[in-house]
Amino acid sequence: MADIADATIDLVVTSPPYNLGIAYSHYSDRQDREGYLDWCHQWVQQIRRILKPVGSFFLNLGASPSNPLLPHELILQVRDLFVLQNTIHWIKAITIENDAGELVSRGHFKPISSPRYLNDCHEYIFHLTPHGKTAIDRLALGVPYADKSNIARWTHTGGSDKRCRGNTWFVPYRTIMRRDEERPHPATFPVELAVNCIRLHGVRGDLVMVDPFLGIGNSALAARECGVAKFTGFEIDEEYLAEARRRLDAPLAPSSPGAKLG
Strands (E), the chain: 9-14, 51-61, 83-91, 93-97, 103-107, 122-129, 168-170, 208-211, 230-233
- Domains belonging to the chain, first-starting first, are 9-248 (3.40.50.150)
Please state the pTM of the whole predicted model.
Answer: 0.87
C-beta separation of 56 from 201 below 8 A? yes
Is 154 strand, coil or helix?
A: coil
pLDDT digit of tens for each residue in the chain (262 aa)?
Answer: 999 999 999 999 999 988 765 554 555 656 788 999 999 999 999 999 999 999 999 999 998 887 899 999 999 999 999 999 999 999 999 999 998 999 999 998 888 888 999 999 999 999 999 999 999 999 999 999 989 998 898 888 888 999 999 999 999 987 644 445 544 444 588 999 999 999 999 999 999 999 999 999 999 999 999 999 999 999 999 999 999 999 999 876 433 444 444 4
C-beta separation of 47 from 12 below 8 A? yes
CA atoms within 13 A on the CB side of 163: 15
Which is it for strands 51-61 and 168-170: parallel, antiparallel or unpaired? unpaired
C-beta separation of 9 from 54 below 8 A? no
